[in-house]
Amino acid sequence: MPVVDPEKLIALQRNADEVRNICILAHVDHGKTSLTDALIATNGIISPKLAGKIRYLDSRPDEQLRGITMESSAISLYFSMLRRRPTPDAPPVQKEYLINLIDSPGHIDFSSEVSTASRLCDGALVLVDAVEGVCSQTVTVLRQTWTEHLKPLLVINKVDRLITELKMSPGEAYTHLSKLLEQVNAVIGSFFQGERMEEDLQWRERVEERVAAAAVKEQERAERKAAKVTGGSLTEESESVAATGTDSMFEEKDDEDLYFAPEKNNVIFSSAVDGWAFTVKQFASLYEKKLGIKRAVLEKVLWGDFYLEPKTKRVLGSKHLKGRALKPMFVQLVLDTIWAVYEATTGGNKGKGDPAMVEKITKSLSLTIPPHILRSRDARAIMTTLFAAWLPLSTAILVSTIEHLPAPPAAQASRLPALIDASPGAKHVDPVIRDAMINLKTTKDDPVVAYVSKMVAVPESEMPHNKRKAGDALSGEEARDLARKKRAEFEKAQAAVNGEAPNGNPDGITEALGESNLNGMNGSTTADEDYEEDPEQLIGFARLYSGTLSVGDSVYVLPPKFSPAHPHVTPEPQRVTITGLYLLMGRGLEALTSVPAGVVFGVAGLEGHVLKSGTLCSQLDGGINLAGVNMGGEPIVRVALEPTNPGDLDKMIKGMKLLEQSDPCAQYEVLESGEHVILTAGELHLERCLKDLRERYARCDVQAGKPIVPYRETIVSAADMPPPKNKDLPRGTVIGVTSSKQVTVRLRVIPLPPSVTDFLEKNARAIRRLYSEKKAAEESKRGSASNAEESTDADQNEADELPANDPGLLSILDFREKLRAAFAEAKGEESVWAHIVEKIAAFGPRRTGPNLLIDVTEEETCQKFLQEAHETPDSKIQQDSDPKTPTTLPPHLLSDKITHAFQLSTLQGPLCHEPIRGIAVFLESITMTLSPSPSPSPTTTIQEALPRLTGEVIKTVHTSIHTGFTDYSPRLLLAMYSVEIQATPAVLGRVYATLSRRRGRILTESLKEGTPFYSILSLLPVAESFGFSDEIRKRTSGAAQPQLVFSGFELLDEDPFWVPKTEEELEDFGEKGDRERVSRRYVDGVRARKGMLVQRKVVGDAEKQKTLKR
């Protein structure tokens, strides 16, 4: 197959109806990249023989080596097919299509790549492994298609495994496949149900509102009527009441279209490695003539409980079987033949095949197999050739894509209204933009709106203008050359993985890696030379939603926090000039001069303007922000990095900044200690980031420290606690006196009930919003001219980040109500928590955390947080303090200092300076007097004393909270991963052993229906998770693949500082009791890392050591 000329692709971009933008989504290892190979082969980029093996889009050496996709990549493909005319007699016409295909990674660490990629597309191929069935990421990607309104096609891949591995009969396979289909549809059904319930609720609320409004009106009318009424207004009102009754019927929505069903042609059965795939429709046309049944009828009956009457060749439903044991048509006409092909080639005769049967099959299917292949006796080659002629993978996939998935005009019309409404500040989007996007306007005068999903770094040498012939297509020879190199690379990498060094060379791996670094075009340059001179260029992955974008155009770059409600916030979005536009061809790029709306493309010139993602828009006022996508997982693994050679520090920092820009999930930060830290989604992601840093971005050797794992600190009231430190006061009470003895603060620390802590943690976003609303309200109340306005703007902006219609966000009243309910759940402590909600002064740390500052002072020192504006008494600050009275201080002056100290102390707990979770600090009293001041002049005024007092009060409150904290039994909370593992019974034991050694806890274990796999769900501390995936893979020889997802914090129920006291305990645990203290080990680990004092006895028993030495 000749290589397709890029000119052809460029020409096709102009016909939006002939373009399809699709992404391939699935759980890890379900065969996405193998499947794309077959599609790429149709364009002559790789040889069909290698399709399914070379995994062309996994262009990174580490992707090849590990067999895991780590970055999404895009490729534009050309496809032409004959299409029937509407009139049956007219000859079919040739139609050409452009398919922009994005292959996404399936591993959970890279899930942010999936969410960004799916926004570029209009449709999706969702792959499911026929054996493994619906896995965790399958559900995630299905949800992704649902929320992004992508039209999905289901591909049941690896069907060959049912034959060769599970040795199922066709009948069993049919049952298995129907169950699998049910599972997938059940997932879709659950999304539908969820949405329906919400709509139902909203509808109910709307109706209730209207009924209430109508009642009020009715009453008003009655009142007015009683007074004096004019006839005109009466009729008016009765109309309006009548109008409210119109939509009182709740509309039932039809969910029929959502589900996958083979008879609807949205299900494809395939085997990517063996290169075949089919839809029911295809078989219908194959059997149309043979059976003399109309194709339209066959399409409907080929899947499901339909049977073929052997004599009359008529189709029967299951009712008419009358006890006969017929096979369903799908088994008889479809699966049996496929099974026969396997039996005739690789299956029968000990894998050597059965030539006679092959001949019979080829004859009956009227296929021809080239004689040299038949002669070769290579059973696999015969099988793949036979399938390639009979059910080619690419045809089934591409034809279904074109027929079933929408072209940009249709897709944008149906999908964009919802997307635009969900964007931040949607009300302020310019109607012209809205219209242009929904109707896919493509002229030069229409507004330009493009979404940039991510930035990729491309070596300068691979940019089109640096290739030997600028902008030229690969010639056939070059393409073959590239493919040959790829194959060599692939074979070497394979050999290296298998442990055999090619040609007896022990450096197999390094060589294979070096080789793949070679860029295909530069022929003789050595990898080393490239290494130094090849700077990286950042290219944005983008989709144009309206207008036409050309090189040289200048557009605004709207950052992900942009909202059209406040377009001119500082820093104001910048205009940038587009310096290059490209067709994305896997690893290569083809230069373009302009792109029309509806196309996925690469764009240069955004470096330094777009960090990760953003929107390009031709106007600022009324612009739309498409980048506010929720990114799924937060990065959780933090590692401090340093260059091996200290002189390379600048290089490393530059590299880390570049990495942060080009990776949707990685984050870079500098700690107060001066350490340079990157945050990544998981271990595998970290590994990829490090490799990128070393080889591309920083180009120097970088060392990573131990991963920094987050912990939380908390307290519990344990039964065996020592008596309170201050025996006269309740536990946790501390009286703190400042060093000048002028201020005395009495406070009490109490652990919060778990229900409250959980509630606060879940609603952190709501708290943040309440906070910013409150601040805005306060500012406007004070009305102090310009600066107030500014800060309101900024806060408003913060609030706008959260979508307005987010159902998770509670109003202040709801929040109070629910919080009260959470407190009420705490049994037996009602007296402590009664009427607490009104007295909350602050949340902490960072103003949103799960700890409370509660003000129970008589003077009401602090402002109450959960009161609405009208409930707060007029601002006290202005009211009472007359700062000139010298001797007594109004405590309100100190309220912000106390809150600040509360924030500080909850941010860094006393155990190991990790954030505190779940305490309440009751501020009981503050007394102040300036009289015993040791200061030289006895007549100190408040103005003079205040700055000094500020520091003192913060320090005292801070230490007092920590003292109160340590009055209880302290606990550490561990960050946990929830781990999902699929394993066969054979390796189950080893999986359990590995899990329990790493302190994992099994939650559930179940046999997956219809498969030989157990699915194990467990919890594993993040601190113990490093190397876990690798270990599992090694110990089970690759049979089990864990998926780790951060699931929150869990209490480790042991006091890190407990020492044995009773004789029994001393006997059990030894004198120090440190043998079993896991929590102590964690605490000491963190303290050591942070450079804090660690109490450790280095020399345990000096005497003994002495004797030993002698």
Ligand X SMILES: Nc1nc2c(ncn2[C@@H]2O[C@H](COP(=O)(O)OP(=O)(O)OP(=O)(O)O)[C@@H](O)[C@H]2O)c(=O)[nH]1
Is residue 26 a contact point for ligand X (CB under 6 A)?
yes
Minimum distance from residue 1004 beta carbon to Mg ion (Å): 29
Is residue 30 a contact point for ligand X (CB under 6 A)?
yes
The listed partner (Mg ion, ligand X, none) that binds 67, CB under 5 to 8 Å by sort, is ligand X
Residues forming a β-bridge with 744: 737, 927
The DSSP string of 410-461 is HHHHHHHHHHHHHSTTGGGS-HHHHHHHHTT--STTSPPEEEEEEEEEEEGG
* 949 phi-psi bin (left φ>0, alpha ψ -120 to 50, beta other): alpha
Residues forming a β-bridge with 595: 549
Cα within 13 Å of Cα(773), Cβ side: 18
Q: Find the binder of ligand X among 44, 61, 105, 560 (CB under 6 A).
A: 105
Rounded CA gap, 1103 and 855, in Å?
A: 56
Query: Residues 594, 548: contact at Cβ < 8 Å?
Result: yes
The DSSP string of 564-584 is TTSTTPSSPPEEEE--EEEEE
Q: How far is CA 110 from the centre of its chain?
A: 8
Task: Tell me the window of 220-228, 268-276, 782-790, 832-840 that interacts with ligand X (CB under 6 A).
Answer: 268-276
By C-beta, is 109 or 713 nearer to ligand X? Answer: 109
The listed partner (ligand X, Mg ion, none) that binds 612, CB under 5 to 8 Å by sort, is none
What phi and psi, each to the nearest 5 degrees, are found at residue 598? 100, 5
Task: Tell me the window of 105-113, 243-251, 873-881, 1031-1039 that interacts with ligand X (CB under 6 A).
Answer: 105-113
Is residue 55 a contact point for ligand X (CB under 6 A)?
yes
Q: Find the binder of ligand X among 67, 417, 710, 886 (CB under 6 A).
A: 67
Rounded CA gap, 1061 and 1068, in Å?
A: 11
Burial call 498-537: b when 16+ CB within 10 Å, e when fewer: eeebbeeeeebbebbbbbbbbbbbbeeeeeeebeeebebb
Rounded CA gap, 657 and 464, in Å?
A: 25
Query: How many amino acids of this chain bind ligand X (CB under 6 A)?
Result: 22
Is residue 265 a contact point for ligand X (CB under 6 A)?
no
By C-beta, is 161 or 818 nearer to ligand X? Answer: 161
Is residue 68 a contact point for ligand X (CB under 6 A)?
yes
By C-beta, is 25 or 901 nearer to Mg ion? Answer: 25
By C-beta, is 681 or 766 nearer to ligand X? Answer: 681
Minimum distance from residue 977 beta carbon to ligand X (Å): 19
Is residue 106 a contact point for ligand X (CB under 6 A)?
yes
Q: Find the binder of Mg ion among 13, 33, 851, 940 (CB under 5 A).
A: 33
By C-beta, is 32 or 712 nearer to Mg ion? Answer: 32
Task: Tell me the window of 64-72, 164-172, 718-726, 805-813 that interacts with Mg ion (CB under 5 A).
Answer: 64-72
Task: Tell me the window of 156-164, 174-182, 796-804, 921-929 that interacts with ligand X (CB under 6 A).
Answer: 156-164
Rounded CA gap, 277 and 42, in Å?
A: 14
Q: Which one-letter amino acid corresponds to residue 657? A: K
Query: Residues 383, 274: contact at Cβ < 8 Å?
Result: yes
Residue 1017: exposure state from Cβ atoms within 10 A (0-12, 13-18, ≥19): middle
Minimum distance from residue 55 beta carbon to ligand X (Å): 5
Task: Tell me the window of 42-50, 64-72, 855-863, 924-932 that interacts with ligand X (CB under 6 A).
Answer: 64-72
Q: Find the binder of ligand X among 13, 43, 64, 69 (CB under 6 A).
A: 69
The listed partner (Mg ion, ligand X, none) that binds 31, CB under 5 to 8 Å by sort, is ligand X
Minimum distance from residue 68 beta carbon to Mg ion (Å): 7
Is residue 273 a contact point for ligand X (CB under 6 A)?
yes
Task: Tell me the window of 31-39, 856-864, 1032-1040, 1102-1110 that interacts with ligand X (CB under 6 A).
Answer: 31-39
Is residue 271 a contact point for ligand X (CB under 6 A)?
yes
Minimum distance from residue 404 beta carbon to Mg ion (Å): 23
Q: Find the binder of ligand X among 135, 272, 666, 678 (CB under 6 A).
A: 272
Q: Find the binder of ligand X among 158, 434, 962, 990 (CB under 6 A).
A: 158
The listed partner (ligand X, Mg ion, none) that binds 917, CB under 5 to 8 Å by sort, is none
Is residue 32 a contact point for Mg ion (CB under 5 A)?
yes
Q: Is the peptide bond before 910 cis (omega within 30 degrees of 0)?
A: no
Question: What's the residue count for the chain?
Answer: 1110
Residues forming a β-bridge with 549: 595
Give the alpha-carbon dihedral of 694, 697, 699, 702, to 10 degrees.
-40
- The side-by-side arrangement of strands in the sheet containing 851-855 is 733-737, 743-751, 919-928, 851-855, 840-844
The listed partner (ligand X, Mg ion, none) that binds 1060, CB under 5 to 8 Å by sort, is none
Is residue 31 a contact point for ligand X (CB under 6 A)?
yes
Q: Find the binder of ligand X among 20, 60, 107, 1077 (CB under 6 A).
A: 107
Rounded CA gap, 353 and 827, in Å?
A: 73
- Closest residue to ligand X, Cβ-based? 106
Minimum distance from residue 164 beta carbon to ligand X (Å): 7
Is residue 768 a contact point for Mg ion (CB under 5 A)?
no
Is residue 160 a contact point for ligand X (CB under 6 A)?
yes
Is residue 353 a contact point for ligand X (CB under 6 A)?
no
Rounded CA gap, 727 and 720, in Å?
A: 16
Question: Which 582-621 residues touch Mg ion, going by CB under 5 A?
Answer: none
Closest CA to 193 of 136, 253, 115: 253
Query: Residues 851, 845: contact at Cβ < 8 Å?
Result: yes
Residues forming a β-bridge with 1046: 977
Question: Which 7-26 residues touch Mg ion, going by CB under 5 A?
Answer: none
Task: Tell me the window of 61-69, 348-356, 442-450, 677-685 that interacts with ligand X (CB under 6 A).
Answer: 61-69
Rounded CA gap, 454 and 452, in Å?
A: 6
The listed partner (ligand X, Mg ion, none) that binds 738, CB under 5 to 8 Å by sort, is none
Minimum distance from residue 467 beta carbon to ligand X (Å): 28
The DSSP string of 164-204 is HTS---HHHHHHHHHHHHHHHHHHHHHHHHHHHHHHHHHHH
The listed partner (ligand X, Mg ion, none) that binds 918, CB under 5 to 8 Å by sort, is none
Question: Which 584-643 residues touch ligand X, going by CB under 6 A?
Answer: none
Minimum distance from residue 285 beta carbon to ligand X (Å): 24
By C-beta, is 73 or 517 nearer to Mg ion? Answer: 73
Minimum distance from residue 58 beta carbon to Mg ion (Å): 6
Is residue 69 a contact point for Mg ion (CB under 5 A)?
yes
By C-beta, is 33 or 548 nearer to ligand X? Answer: 33
Task: Tell me the window of 104-112, 241-249, 540-548, 668-676 that interacts with ligand X (CB under 6 A).
Answer: 104-112
Is residue 133 a contact point for ligand X (CB under 6 A)?
no
Rounded CA gap, 571 and 817, in Å?
A: 39
Residues forming a β-bridge with 557: 574, 616
Minimum distance from residue 72 beta carbon to ligand X (Å): 9
Task: Tell me the window of 28-36, 516-524, 612-620, 750-758 that interacts with Mg ion (CB under 5 A).
Answer: 28-36
Rounded CA gap, 927 and 887, in Å?
A: 12
By C-beta, is 127 or 457 nearer to ligand X? Answer: 127
By C-beta, is 384 or 969 nearer to ligand X? Answer: 384
Closest CA to 1008 of 979, 992, 985: 985
Map tokens 């006291």 to a residue: 1061
Q: Which one-letter amino acid corresponds to residue 868? A: E
Q: How far is CA 558 from the centre of its chain?
A: 22
Q: Can you give the binding site for ligand X, defined by CB under 6 A?
A: 26, 28-34, 55, 67-69, 105-107, 157-158, 160-161, 271-273
Q: Can you give the binding site for Mg ion, defined by CB under 5 A?
A: 32-33, 69
